[in-house]
Amino acid sequence: MAAGRVCTGFSLPYVAKYNNASGTITYSNGQKLARGVDVSIEPSASDYVFYADNVEAEIANQFTGGTFSLTVDGLLASAEQLIMGLPELTGDWYAYNDDQTPNYFGLGFIARYMNDGVASYVPYVLAKVSFNPITTTAATQEAEISWQTQALSGTIMRAEDEKRTWKYLGKEYATEAAAEAAIKTKLGISANG
């Protein structure tokens, strides 16, 4: 058995609204965000040092926040409405205006790993994130197709639960479907959702 594993894929980003009821965290209105292209999680941490006898006697390194960047193939209008807190359709249009209600979300995805030629699928969930405003870019098609993707970014925070959770790392699953089911369960998404 190899001593480690190598990441060979990323898939199935999901989001769900974050809810805090006196320290009990739940998620609602979850859905698949889009088809995943890549993800980057960049946590920040600080050292908290205790001095005794004029020297560093103890040190604690603690998570203080972070950022994420996520590339997807392209958001459907319903996913953009959800993560940007847009009001319901007015006629044929979603409006970015003063009626937007920014929300916090749980963000889940799957990383695929290989170890000695065997694939495994690991679900991740960031407990509480907020999305930055979405940048829109598009380019005309020329003689060859230029595949265009959508970049999303945001802030990672601690949840308000007793342990102040910021990330969940799932166990390894033999199939992507099993890892996806674990994310749906964690984010309160029905099996058919």
- Taking residues 6-35, report their average pLDDT: 95
Asked if residue 147 is part of any domain, the answer here is yes
Nearest by Cα to 107 from 76, 68, 81, 136: 68
Is residue 92 in a domain?
A: yes
Has residue 91 been placed in a domain?
A: yes
pLDDT in tens, 24-61: 999 999 999 999 999 999 999 998 889 999 889 888 88
Q: Is residue 53 part of a domain?
A: no
Task: From residue 18, give the alpha-carbon distance in Å to each of 25, 29, 105, 130, 137.
Answer: 7, 9, 5, 10, 29
- 179 is a domain residue: yes
User: Would 94 be classed as within a structural domain?
Assistant: yes
107 within some domain: yes
- How many domains are there within the chain? 1
Residue 88's contacts (CB-CB under 8 Å, 6 or more residues apart) are 81
Q: Decide if 60 is inside a domain.
A: no
* DSSP state, residue 35: -
What CA–CA distance (Å, rounded) separates 27 from 17?
5
- Interval 114-160: pLDDT, tens: 999 999 999 999 999 999 999 888 888 888 888 889 999 999 999 99
Start-to-end CA distance of the chain, whole Å, equals 37
In this structure, are strands 24-32 and 55-72 parallel, antiparallel, or unpaired?
A: unpaired
State the residue range of the domain holding 78: 6-39+70-186
